[in-house]
Structure 1
Amino acid sequence: MYIKLPKETKDGIKEEIISFFYEERDEEIGEIAAEAFLDFCLEKLGPYFYNEGVQDAIKIINERNMNAEEDLHSLKRNVSR
């Protein structure tokens, strides 16, 4: 799975990577190295983050379904026999 980013977004992330390497590691890297690093992260790490997002969505949907079920049960009326 490969994530396709808009050019503006990708350019901004590359600048962040370049800044990170300079500020945190005292290394100067260029745009090609930053893009290679970004591509690596997207390819190797992206699926983990994607799966976590899907898992979070599943939890939210389950909670909403549970609330909907409770709401529906509250609409029931007593039946006298």
Structure 2
Amino acid sequence: MSTIAFSKDETALLVRKIQLYFSQELSQQIGQFDAEFLLDFFSKEVGAYYYNRGLYDAQSALNAKLEDVQDAIYQLEQHTDFKR
């Protein structure tokens, strides 16, 4: 798996969200450096779990669509004397 990297703009947005969360939910102020450090920590330590969950969800959605395609193909099949 390659490292997930955010652009400067994305990082700035996420840092602001962390700062806002600390301010609103914890009534604490957190500086930009500390928020970036926290973002890096969660990205490295927890990010893979979220990434993998996204892959599992995508795989499940794809499998459901493939089953639909298989059913559609089966419905197109014409009756013959041949056996599968």
Q: Output the TM-score relative to the length of structure 2.
A: 0.88
RMSD: 1.6
Q: Whole-Å Cα distance in 2 between the matches of residues 78 and 5 of structure 1?
A: 55
Deviation at 1:79, TM superposition (A): 2.3
One-letter amino acid of the structure 1 residue matched with residue 17 of structure 2? E
Structure 1 runs of 4+ off > 6 angstroms?
A: none
1:4 aligned counterpart, secondary structure: coil
Counterpart in the other structure of 1:36: 37
Q: Which runs of 5+ in 2 are unaligned?
A: none
Q: How does 1:9-48 map to 2 (within 5 A)?
A: 9-48=10-49
* Aligned pairs, number: 81
Identity within the alignment, %: 26
Q: Deviation digits for residues 8-53 of structure 1, max 9, x if unmatched?
A: 0110110111111111111111100000000011111110000001
Q: Output the TM-score relative to the length of structure 1.
A: 0.90
Q: RCO higher in 1 or 2 (8 Å CA, sep ≥ 6)? A: 1
Q: Which runs of 5+ in 1 are unaligned?
A: none
